[in-house]
Amino acid sequence: MIEEKIKVRATTSGQELEVVVFSKRRDRIEVVIGTGVHSVRCELLPTRTGQAYVGKAMGREIVYETSREQVEADIARAASRALFRR
């Protein structure tokens, strides 16, 4: 199984982090920050305008700057690849 990784930005520092996607849906993206026993799961929810996803991990805000429409397209593409592999 190939794990999907995305880049998120910490709003306070501007630092970009590469995180692993645990689950992805139109209304919610769950990511895992870190590895092993030090990993933290975070839920990203779409902003009011739908232009980004935002969440908090250990009290710090993180942002995935991708629109809801792009996430839907990514999900559809992944589903079609899964059907093609069968």
Domain ranges of the chain: 5-85
The answer to whether the beta carbons of residues 32 and 39 sit under 8 Å apart is yes
Which amino acid, residue 30?
Answer: E
Dist CA 16 CA 18 (whole Å): 7
Alpha helices (runs of H) in the chain, residue ranges in sequence order: 68-85
Instruction: Give yes or no for residue 10 having a pLDDT over 90.
Output: yes
Token duo for residue 13: 């520092």
The pLDDT value recorded for residue 3 is 85
User: What SS3 class is residue 50?
Assistant: coil
User: What pLDDT band is residue 40 in, cutting at 50, 70 and 90?
Assistant: very high
Q: What percent of the chain has pLDDT over 90?
A: 79
Judged against a pLDDT cut of 90, whether residue 45 lies above it is answered with: yes
Q: What's the CA angle centered on 27, arms 22 and 30, to 5 degrees?
A: 20
78 — pLDDT class (breaks 50, 70, 90): confident
Query: CA-CA distance, 58 to 72, in Å (whole number)?
Result: 28
